[in-house]
Amino acid sequence: MQVQTISLRYVRKMELKGRHLLSLKDFTREEIQLILDTSSDLKRQRYRGELGTSLLGRSVGMVFERPSTRTRVSFEVAVNELSGDSLFLSSQELQLSRGEPIADTARVLSRYLHGIVIRATNHEHVVELAEYSDVPVINALTPMYHPCQALADLLTIREKLHELEGLKLVYIGDGNNVCQSLMIGGATMGLEVTVATPPGYEPNPEVTAFARERAEENMAQLELTNDPKAAVEEADVLYTDVFVSMGQDEERKKRLAAFLPDYQINEALVELAAPHSIVMHCLPAHRDEEITDAVIEGPHSVVWDQAENRLHTEKAILALLL
Ligand code: CP
Ligand code: NVA
Protein backbone atom coordinates (compact mmCIF):
# COMPACT_ATOMS: atom_id res chain seq x y z
CA MET A 1 0.00 0.00 0.00
CA GLN A 2 2.77 2.42 0.99
CA VAL A 3 4.80 1.51 -2.12
CA GLN A 4 1.74 2.26 -4.23
CA THR A 5 1.24 5.66 -2.54
CA ILE A 6 4.87 6.62 -3.06
CA SER A 7 4.90 5.56 -6.68
CA LEU A 8 1.64 7.42 -7.42
CA ARG A 9 3.14 10.54 -5.91
CA TYR A 10 6.24 10.03 -8.06
CA VAL A 11 4.14 9.63 -11.22
CA ARG A 12 2.17 12.79 -10.40
CA LYS A 13 5.41 14.67 -9.75
CA MET A 14 6.72 13.62 -13.13
CA GLU A 15 3.45 14.75 -14.75
CA LEU A 16 3.97 18.28 -13.41
CA LYS A 17 7.48 18.67 -14.83
CA GLY A 18 7.70 21.22 -17.63
CA ARG A 19 4.11 22.46 -17.20
CA HIS A 20 3.09 26.12 -17.19
CA LEU A 21 1.06 27.56 -14.30
CA LEU A 22 -1.21 30.12 -15.93
CA SER A 23 -4.30 29.41 -13.85
CA LEU A 24 -5.53 26.63 -11.57
CA LYS A 25 -7.89 25.56 -14.36
CA ASP A 26 -5.09 23.40 -15.76
CA PHE A 27 -4.52 21.47 -12.52
CA THR A 28 -6.49 18.59 -11.09
CA ARG A 29 -7.43 18.07 -7.48
CA GLU A 30 -4.65 15.48 -7.09
CA GLU A 31 -2.09 17.84 -8.61
CA ILE A 32 -3.08 20.71 -6.31
CA GLN A 33 -2.96 18.27 -3.40
CA LEU A 34 0.58 17.34 -4.41
CA ILE A 35 1.62 21.01 -4.59
CA LEU A 36 0.18 21.59 -1.10
CA ASP A 37 1.82 18.47 0.34
CA THR A 38 5.16 19.44 -1.20
CA SER A 39 4.76 22.95 0.23
CA SER A 40 4.23 21.49 3.72
CA ASP A 41 7.30 19.26 3.34
CA LEU A 42 9.44 22.20 2.22
CA LYS A 43 8.07 24.33 5.05
CA ARG A 44 9.07 21.70 7.62
CA GLN A 45 12.50 21.41 6.02
CA ARG A 46 13.02 25.18 6.21
CA TYR A 47 12.02 25.19 9.89
CA ARG A 48 14.66 22.49 10.47
CA GLY A 49 17.19 24.71 8.71
CA GLU A 50 17.53 22.46 5.66
CA LEU A 51 17.72 24.10 2.27
CA GLY A 52 17.06 22.34 -1.03
CA THR A 53 19.10 21.70 -4.13
CA SER A 54 16.36 21.08 -6.67
CA LEU A 55 17.21 24.23 -8.67
CA LEU A 56 20.98 23.78 -8.60
CA GLY A 57 22.43 25.13 -11.85
CA ARG A 58 19.04 26.59 -12.88
CA SER A 59 18.13 30.20 -13.51
CA VAL A 60 14.66 31.67 -13.14
CA GLY A 61 13.69 35.00 -14.71
CA MET A 62 11.19 37.24 -12.93
CA VAL A 63 9.43 39.63 -15.30
CA PHE A 64 7.37 42.23 -13.43
CA GLU A 65 5.16 44.76 -15.18
CA ARG A 66 3.56 45.79 -11.89
CA PRO A 67 4.85 46.41 -8.33
CA SER A 68 5.10 43.51 -5.90
CA THR A 69 6.35 42.85 -2.38
CA ARG A 70 5.24 39.30 -1.49
CA THR A 71 5.36 37.63 -4.88
CA ARG A 72 8.70 39.01 -5.95
CA VAL A 73 10.47 38.46 -2.64
CA SER A 74 8.98 35.01 -1.98
CA PHE A 75 9.90 33.79 -5.47
CA GLU A 76 13.43 35.20 -5.26
CA VAL A 77 14.03 33.69 -1.82
CA ALA A 78 12.46 30.41 -2.95
CA VAL A 79 14.87 30.17 -5.89
CA ASN A 80 17.84 31.02 -3.67
CA GLU A 81 16.86 28.48 -1.01
CA LEU A 82 16.56 25.78 -3.67
CA SER A 83 20.12 26.63 -4.80
CA GLY A 84 19.11 28.29 -8.08
CA ASP A 85 19.69 31.79 -9.43
CA SER A 86 16.98 34.38 -9.96
CA LEU A 87 17.10 37.38 -12.27
CA PHE A 88 14.70 40.27 -11.67
CA LEU A 89 13.65 41.64 -15.04
CA SER A 90 11.68 44.86 -14.86
CA SER A 91 9.59 45.02 -18.01
CA GLN A 92 10.81 48.60 -18.49
CA GLU A 93 14.36 47.35 -18.86
CA LEU A 94 13.57 44.61 -21.35
CA GLN A 95 13.27 45.32 -25.09
CA LEU A 96 9.59 44.41 -24.59
CA SER A 97 9.16 48.02 -23.50
CA ARG A 98 10.40 49.13 -26.95
CA GLY A 99 8.06 46.83 -28.82
CA GLU A 100 9.99 43.54 -29.15
CA PRO A 101 7.25 40.95 -29.66
CA ILE A 102 6.29 38.70 -26.76
CA ALA A 103 6.81 35.63 -28.96
CA ASP A 104 10.42 36.64 -29.71
CA THR A 105 11.09 37.47 -26.07
CA ALA A 106 9.73 34.07 -25.03
CA ARG A 107 11.90 32.15 -27.49
CA VAL A 108 15.05 34.04 -26.53
CA LEU A 109 14.48 33.89 -22.76
CA SER A 110 13.85 30.15 -22.93
CA ARG A 111 17.30 29.65 -24.42
CA TYR A 112 18.82 31.11 -21.24
CA LEU A 113 16.40 30.41 -18.42
CA HIS A 114 14.84 27.29 -16.90
CA GLY A 115 11.63 29.05 -15.89
CA ILE A 116 9.90 32.41 -16.23
CA VAL A 117 7.78 34.01 -13.50
CA ILE A 118 5.69 36.87 -14.87
CA ARG A 119 3.34 39.51 -13.44
CA ALA A 120 1.60 41.19 -16.34
CA THR A 121 -0.95 43.87 -17.09
CA ASN A 122 -2.71 41.63 -19.62
CA HIS A 123 -3.51 37.94 -19.14
CA GLU A 124 -3.33 37.23 -22.86
CA HIS A 125 0.31 38.34 -22.88
CA VAL A 126 1.13 35.62 -20.37
CA VAL A 127 -0.75 33.05 -22.44
CA GLU A 128 1.23 34.12 -25.52
CA LEU A 129 4.52 34.02 -23.62
CA ALA A 130 3.74 30.47 -22.52
CA GLU A 131 2.79 29.45 -26.04
CA TYR A 132 6.23 30.40 -27.35
CA SER A 133 8.30 29.48 -24.30
CA ASP A 134 10.09 26.13 -24.08
CA VAL A 135 10.40 26.49 -20.30
CA PRO A 136 7.62 26.70 -17.68
CA VAL A 137 5.88 30.06 -17.37
CA ILE A 138 4.39 30.86 -13.96
CA ASN A 139 1.66 33.49 -13.65
CA ALA A 140 2.59 35.82 -10.80
CA LEU A 141 -0.69 37.80 -11.21
CA THR A 142 -2.66 39.11 -14.14
CA PRO A 143 -5.98 40.97 -14.05
CA MET A 144 -7.66 37.53 -14.53
CA TYR A 145 -5.88 35.22 -12.12
CA HIS A 146 -3.48 34.98 -9.20
CA PRO A 147 -2.98 31.20 -8.96
CA CYS A 148 0.14 31.32 -6.76
CA GLN A 149 -1.82 33.31 -4.18
CA ALA A 150 -4.68 30.79 -4.21
CA LEU A 151 -2.27 27.91 -3.58
CA ALA A 152 -0.83 29.68 -0.53
CA ASP A 153 -4.39 30.41 0.62
CA LEU A 154 -5.42 26.77 0.37
CA LEU A 155 -2.33 25.71 2.30
CA THR A 156 -3.14 28.26 5.02
CA ILE A 157 -6.75 27.11 5.31
CA ARG A 158 -5.64 23.48 5.52
CA GLU A 159 -3.11 24.33 8.24
CA LYS A 160 -5.52 26.40 10.31
CA LEU A 161 -8.68 24.31 9.94
CA HIS A 162 -7.05 20.91 9.30
CA GLU A 163 -8.98 20.11 6.12
CA LEU A 164 -10.37 21.70 2.99
CA GLU A 165 -13.28 19.57 1.91
CA GLY A 166 -16.69 20.86 3.02
CA LEU A 167 -15.43 24.12 4.55
CA LYS A 168 -17.38 27.26 3.82
CA LEU A 169 -15.19 29.97 2.29
CA VAL A 170 -16.85 33.35 1.84
CA TYR A 171 -15.12 35.91 -0.36
CA ILE A 172 -16.48 39.43 0.07
CA GLY A 173 -15.60 42.31 -2.22
CA ASP A 174 -14.52 42.63 -5.82
CA GLY A 175 -14.85 39.63 -8.17
CA ASN A 176 -11.24 40.13 -9.23
CA ASN A 177 -8.13 38.04 -10.04
CA VAL A 178 -7.71 36.84 -6.45
CA CYS A 179 -11.39 35.95 -6.20
CA GLN A 180 -11.37 34.09 -9.53
CA SER A 181 -8.36 31.96 -8.58
CA LEU A 182 -9.89 31.19 -5.19
CA MET A 183 -13.15 30.15 -6.87
CA ILE A 184 -11.35 27.66 -9.09
CA GLY A 185 -9.03 26.45 -6.33
CA GLY A 186 -11.86 26.14 -3.82
CA ALA A 187 -14.18 24.36 -6.25
CA THR A 188 -11.41 21.95 -7.20
CA MET A 189 -10.60 21.12 -3.59
CA GLY A 190 -14.21 20.52 -2.49
CA LEU A 191 -14.95 23.72 -0.58
CA GLU A 192 -18.29 25.49 -0.36
CA VAL A 193 -17.38 28.83 -1.94
CA THR A 194 -19.67 31.87 -1.66
CA VAL A 195 -18.76 35.12 -3.39
CA ALA A 196 -20.53 38.30 -2.25
CA THR A 197 -20.01 41.33 -4.49
CA PRO A 198 -21.96 44.50 -5.23
CA PRO A 199 -24.05 44.26 -8.40
CA GLY A 200 -21.80 44.87 -11.39
CA TYR A 201 -18.63 43.62 -9.67
CA GLU A 202 -19.29 39.88 -9.99
CA PRO A 203 -16.52 37.60 -11.22
CA ASN A 204 -16.15 36.94 -14.95
CA PRO A 205 -19.08 34.78 -16.20
CA GLU A 206 -16.79 32.34 -18.07
CA VAL A 207 -14.65 31.82 -14.98
CA THR A 208 -17.81 31.37 -12.93
CA ALA A 209 -19.16 28.78 -15.37
CA PHE A 210 -15.85 26.91 -15.28
CA ALA A 211 -15.72 27.00 -11.46
CA ARG A 212 -19.31 25.71 -11.30
CA GLU A 213 -18.39 22.73 -13.48
CA ARG A 214 -15.34 22.09 -11.31
CA ALA A 215 -17.50 22.30 -8.20
CA GLU A 216 -19.89 19.71 -9.58
CA GLU A 217 -17.05 17.33 -10.42
CA ASN A 218 -15.57 17.68 -6.92
CA MET A 219 -18.68 17.68 -4.70
CA ALA A 220 -18.04 21.36 -3.98
CA GLN A 221 -20.43 24.29 -4.15
CA LEU A 222 -20.27 27.74 -5.66
CA GLU A 223 -22.73 30.53 -4.86
CA LEU A 224 -22.74 34.14 -6.03
CA THR A 225 -24.70 36.74 -4.08
CA ASN A 226 -25.00 40.48 -3.49
CA ASP A 227 -25.83 39.96 0.20
CA PRO A 228 -22.66 39.84 2.35
CA LYS A 229 -24.50 39.44 5.66
CA ALA A 230 -26.41 36.36 4.55
CA ALA A 231 -23.26 35.00 2.87
CA VAL A 232 -21.11 34.96 6.01
CA GLU A 233 -23.52 32.88 8.08
CA GLU A 234 -21.68 29.74 9.30
CA ALA A 235 -18.56 30.75 7.34
CA ASP A 236 -15.32 29.00 8.29
CA VAL A 237 -13.19 31.38 6.22
CA LEU A 238 -13.78 35.06 5.43
CA TYR A 239 -11.64 36.46 2.64
CA THR A 240 -11.25 39.86 1.08
CA ASP A 241 -8.98 41.80 -1.25
CA VAL A 242 -8.68 45.45 -2.25
CA PHE A 243 -11.64 47.17 -3.91
CA VAL A 244 -9.29 48.96 -6.32
CA SER A 245 -6.79 46.64 -7.97
CA MET A 246 -3.59 47.65 -9.75
CA GLY A 247 -4.48 49.49 -12.93
CA GLN A 248 -7.91 50.61 -11.67
CA ASP A 249 -6.90 53.78 -9.85
CA GLU A 250 -9.04 55.98 -12.08
CA GLU A 251 -12.14 54.09 -10.89
CA ARG A 252 -11.31 54.57 -7.23
CA LYS A 253 -14.09 56.97 -6.30
CA LYS A 254 -16.79 55.01 -8.11
CA ARG A 255 -15.60 51.71 -6.65
CA LEU A 256 -15.44 52.92 -3.06
CA ALA A 257 -18.99 54.24 -3.40
CA ALA A 258 -20.16 50.82 -4.64
CA PHE A 259 -18.37 48.74 -1.99
CA LEU A 260 -18.62 50.85 1.18
CA PRO A 261 -19.96 50.36 3.75
CA ASP A 262 -21.71 47.02 3.06
CA TYR A 263 -18.83 44.94 1.69
CA GLN A 264 -16.25 45.78 4.35
CA ILE A 265 -15.05 43.02 6.66
CA ASN A 266 -15.50 44.57 10.09
CA GLU A 267 -16.12 43.20 13.56
CA ALA A 268 -19.91 43.19 13.10
CA LEU A 269 -19.59 41.01 9.99
CA VAL A 270 -17.08 38.65 11.62
CA GLU A 271 -19.57 38.18 14.49
CA LEU A 272 -22.01 36.63 12.00
CA ALA A 273 -19.53 33.93 10.89
CA ALA A 274 -18.72 30.71 12.76
CA PRO A 275 -16.93 31.44 16.08
CA HIS A 276 -13.81 29.58 14.90
CA SER A 277 -13.69 31.46 11.57
CA ILE A 278 -10.43 32.71 10.13
CA VAL A 279 -10.04 35.98 8.24
CA MET A 280 -7.77 36.12 5.21
CA HIS A 281 -6.45 38.83 2.89
CA CYS A 282 -3.87 38.38 0.16
CA LEU A 283 -2.33 41.79 1.06
CA PRO A 284 -1.52 44.58 0.50
CA ALA A 285 -4.54 45.72 2.54
CA HIS A 286 -6.22 49.08 2.57
CA ARG A 287 -7.21 49.36 6.21
CA ASP A 288 -10.68 50.67 6.86
CA GLU A 289 -11.64 50.14 3.22
CA GLU A 290 -12.13 46.39 2.53
CA ILE A 291 -11.10 45.40 6.08
CA THR A 292 -10.94 47.28 9.35
CA ASP A 293 -7.76 47.67 11.32
CA ALA A 294 -9.43 45.90 14.28
CA VAL A 295 -10.16 42.79 12.17
CA ILE A 296 -6.82 42.52 10.38
CA GLU A 297 -5.02 42.92 13.72
CA GLY A 298 -7.61 40.86 15.59
CA PRO A 299 -7.81 37.25 16.82
CA HIS A 300 -9.42 35.79 13.68
CA SER A 301 -6.83 37.17 11.28
CA VAL A 302 -4.27 34.77 9.79
CA VAL A 303 -2.85 37.17 7.21
CA TRP A 304 0.81 36.97 8.29
CA ASP A 305 0.89 33.17 8.19
CA GLN A 306 -0.91 33.39 4.86
CA ALA A 307 1.78 35.75 3.52
CA GLU A 308 4.53 33.45 4.83
CA ASN A 309 2.97 30.53 3.00
CA ARG A 310 3.60 32.28 -0.30
CA LEU A 311 7.25 31.32 0.17
CA HIS A 312 6.56 27.64 0.82
CA THR A 313 4.10 27.26 -2.05
CA GLU A 314 6.36 29.20 -4.46
CA LYS A 315 9.12 26.74 -3.58
CA ALA A 316 6.87 23.76 -4.27
CA ILE A 317 5.72 25.25 -7.60
CA LEU A 318 9.33 25.79 -8.71
CA ALA A 319 10.55 22.41 -7.48
CA LEU A 320 7.68 20.56 -9.16
CA LEU A 321 7.35 22.42 -12.47
CA LEU A 322 11.01 23.11 -13.19
N1 CP B 1 -0.41 39.19 -2.51
C2 CP B 1 0.46 39.61 -3.43
O3 CP B 1 0.58 39.09 -4.54
O4 CP B 1 1.25 40.64 -3.00
P5 CP B 1 2.29 41.45 -3.87
O6 CP B 1 1.53 42.32 -4.82
O7 CP B 1 3.07 42.25 -2.86
O8 CP B 1 3.17 40.49 -4.60
N1 NVA C 1 -6.42 42.30 -6.75
C2 NVA C 1 -5.15 42.87 -6.41
C3 NVA C 1 -4.24 41.82 -5.85
C4 NVA C 1 -2.90 42.31 -5.39
C5 NVA C 1 -2.05 41.20 -4.85
C6 NVA C 1 -4.55 43.53 -7.65
O7 NVA C 1 -4.64 42.93 -8.73
O8 NVA C 1 -4.03 44.62 -7.52
**Closest ligand relative to 149 C-alpha:** 1
**Closest ligand relative to 241 C-alpha:** 2
Provide the domain limits for residue 172.
149-307
Letter for the amino acid at 250? E
- Compute the mean pLDDT over every residue in the chain, rounded to the nearest whole number: 96
Convert the pLDDT of each residue in 138-177 to its tens digit.
Answer: 999 999 999 999 999 999 999 999 999 999 999 999 999 9
Residues 179, 127 share a domain: no
User: How many domains would you assign to the chain?
Assistant: 2
Q: How confident is the model at residue 92 (pLDDT cuts 50, 70, 90)?
A: confident
Q: How far apart (Å, rounded) are the C-alpha atoms in residues 75 and 58?
A: 14
Would residue 1 count as lying in a domain? no
Would residue 3 count as lying in a domain? no
Q: How confident is the model at residue 11 (pLDDT cuts 50, 70, 90)?
A: confident
Structure confidence at residue 27 (pLDDT) = 97
- Please compute the mean of the pLDDT values over residues 242-248 and round it to a whole number: 97
The pLDDT of residue 107 is above 90: yes
Q: How far apart (Å, rounded) are the C-alpha atoms in residues 237 and 282?
A: 13
Residues 268, 120 share a domain: no
Question: What residues are annotated to the active site?
Answer: 119, 146, 149, 241, 282, 310
Structure confidence at residue 9 (pLDDT) = 75
The pLDDT of residue 289 is above 80: yes
- Please compute the mean of the pLDDT values over residues 196-205 and round it to a whole number: 98
Atom of ligand 2 nearest to the CA of 174: 1
User: Does 309 sit in the ligand 1 pocket, CB within 6 Å?
Assistant: no
Residue closest via CA to ligand 2's atom 2 equals: 245
The pLDDT of residue 2 is above 80: no
Structure confidence at residue 10 (pLDDT) = 76
Q: How confident is the model at residue 4 (pLDDT cuts 50, 70, 90)?
A: low
User: Does 68 sit in the ligand 1 pocket, CB within 6 Å?
Assistant: yes
Residues 197, 83 share a domain: no
Q: Count other C-beta atoms under 10 Å from residue 135's C-beta.
A: 22
Atom of ligand 2 nearest to the CA of 66: 8
Residues 248, 129 share a domain: no
Would residue 101 count as lying in a domain? yes
Q: How confident is the model at residue 13 (pLDDT cuts 50, 70, 90)?
A: confident
